[in-house]
Homo-oligomer: A and B are copies of this chain.
Amino acid sequence: MHRPSLTLLAASLMLATGLACAADAPTTIPAAAVQTAEQLRDKAMHDDTAYKLVEGLTTEIGARLAGGPNDPRARAWMIAKFKALGFDKVYTEPVTYPLWVRHSEHGAIVAPFPQPLTLIALGYSPGTPKGGLTAQVVQFPNLDALKAADPATVKGKIVYIGERMQRYKDGRDYGRIGSPIRVAGPVIAEAKGAAGYLLRSAGTDANERIPHTGVTGFKPGDKGIPAAALSNPDADQLERVLAYGKPVTVKLDLDCGIEGQYTGANVIGEITGSKYPDQVVAIGGHLDSWDPGTGAIDDGAGVAIAAGAAKVIHDLPQRPERTIRVIAFANEEMGLWGGRAYAEKHAADVSTFQLGSESDFGSGPVWRMSASVKPQARGAIEQIAKVLAPIGVAYDPKRPGGGGSDLSQMHGKGMAALSLTQDGTYYFDWHHTANDTLDKIDPKQLAQNVAVYAVFSYMAAQANGDFGSAPGAFAHDGAEE
């Protein structure tokens, strides 16, 4: 399908939804709504609802590995919280996915110098044979070198890639280095006949003996090879041992793997719109987390930010015109399962989604906003930007808005979306580790996020006109989330 036909389709769908404005009339936000948004912003900056939510979630539930023992506990907790916050509607939508289970993991350099290795198995990694897997290590400086490697040099060995991530405000090294090495690396190594796979953790904490887990690119049904991440100091150690130039043998003993499938759920809470209850501003985070930490920054924070934003809107004297929908997604970590299920289910009604954005990059302050909306809604985005500017958010009109991790899937279906970029300078110090705990969250920074989500959600809900959601509307906007 080509964009012109999509635009026509979008226009006709928008007319069909009963909006009073023409598709090419500019979308605007009434002055009263702007004023209320400013008040919401100032209130949210001092509201501790979100902090109390993430404190409660991490303290009362803790780690929330998708399908693990805390998965149903976390869902029940979230449902209870949405109800306690006074949301008008609370419900779940089922999400089914392969159940990956971690039992234990151990690793060690066997020769030439016996040393334990602090490591963690990666998502969808199969286990090693009982008693472990012992093999020689072959080192590559980066993913390109592995791609270029003669399979004969890899066959039967444990591939190790040691490229380092550096800290950036936008966390760019995760997309550039860490994520590809963790996701694509094991698949490439398996294809070349490797027996196992190790990487330097996809993390920016150069000196912490805490490894970073995360998902691999193995697909359900793949055989896969045992794959694990070393902490940064352990990666340094392995590299020092490799530098002696003698054959280095490592033993991996991973007890993990896919054990059937599991049905969890996205947990959804709504403030029902007073005028257009079926038109939805979608915000959220994901409720699952990796298991070694307590899922504070990833993504208790996101769930709390969205719920906290909805709560300050809920507490206004009047309901917003459109519905504010907070979605606590299931199993984002192992491949956007909740987001994909949601998008599959709601693709047909994408035009009812006014605007959406998910928070899933920790709790650093939002410093940049960008949007994928129809041209006639740029003015409304500028209105939102003007309310957000005093709390440090710069609007970049040249970048697309991808909607965040799970909601990227609805954006892919055609939902107008924002990107609300947080300061992620230290995010990858703690991401997917035992160190993802409440103490990493600054309550004031968290509140700034709540203010941002409250402002955009409310202003979008009160807009005269829409932001251009329509099936496939933004298929070529280049957003990457």
A contact residues vs B (CB 8 Å cutoff): 55, 58-63, 113-116, 118, 206-210, 232-233, 236-237, 240-241, 292-294, 433-435, 437-440
Contact = CB atoms under 8 A, between A and B. Distances in A.
A369 B236 CA distance: 34
21 contacts: A59-B113, A59-B115, A59-B240, A60-B113, A61-B113, A62-B114, A62-B116, A115-B294, A207-B440, A208-B208, A208-B210, A208-B435, A209-B433, A209-B435, A232-B439, A233-B435, A233-B438, A236-B439, A237-B294, A237-B437, A237-B438
B209 A293 contact: yes
A65 to B, nearest CB: 12
B113 A62 contact: yes
A434 B59 contact: no
A433 B209 CA distance: 9
Contact of A237 (B59, B118, B208, B237): B59
A114 B232 CA distance: 30
Contacts of A433: 209
Nearest to A430: B207
A8 to B, nearest CB: 54
Contacts of A113: 59-62
A236 B62 CA distance: 13
Contacts of A207: 435, 437, 439-440
Nearest to A109: B62
A233 B439 contact: yes
A293 B118 CA distance: 10
Max chain B CB contacts within 10 Å: which of A58, A59, A236? A59
A295 to B, nearest CB: 12
A255 to B, nearest CB: 15
